[in-house]
Amino acid sequence: MPDQNSNEGYSHDFQDRERTGTPVDYLEETSAEITPPMTYNATTRPVTSDVERDREVVGGKGIGITALLISILSLFVMPIILGIVGIVLGFVARSRGASALGTWAISLGAISIIIGIFIAPFF
């Protein structure tokens, strides 16, 4: 078995180095990692987070429907108060995963407030 400091077993490397003019006594060792590099994929999640996310979406959907109904109701009755409630519930729904319902509730609540403040007093 070759000694750690001996150059046995590396004759082909020495011949190549002598031909190219590089120092013969210089040997280098490289290594690779045992495991492949991790790739980050935002779509892969643990199983428990999928279950928790589904619960949040279901809860957000209920709040989003409630917010949308209150915002629609605010177009006809108490526009400022119900519009504010619809906007707040819309933000809660968006934070819980029901982004479309929350966005609609926020926009309808804001439209209701604008109509209640600027347009309704003239009628």
Residue 111, in any domain of the structure: yes
Residue 19, in any domain of the structure: no
Which residue range is the domain that position 100 belongs to?
Answer: 78-122
pLDDT of 9-68, one tens digit each?
A: 555 555 665 666 655 555 666 666 566 666 666 665 555 555 565 655 677 889 999 999
Residue 93, in any domain of the structure: yes
pTM assigned to the model:
0.54
Residue 1, in any domain of the structure: no
Residue 28, in any domain of the structure: no
DSSP the chain: ---TTS-TT-HHHHHHHHHHT--TT--------SSPPP---TT---HHHHHHHHHHHHHHHHHHHHHHHHHHHHTTS-HHHHHHHHHHHHHHHHHTT-HHHHHHHHHHHHHHHHIIIIIGGG-
Count how many domains the chain has: 1
Residue 13, in any domain of the structure: no
pLDDT at 20: 66
pLDDT at 19: 67
Mean pLDDT of the region 68-94: 94
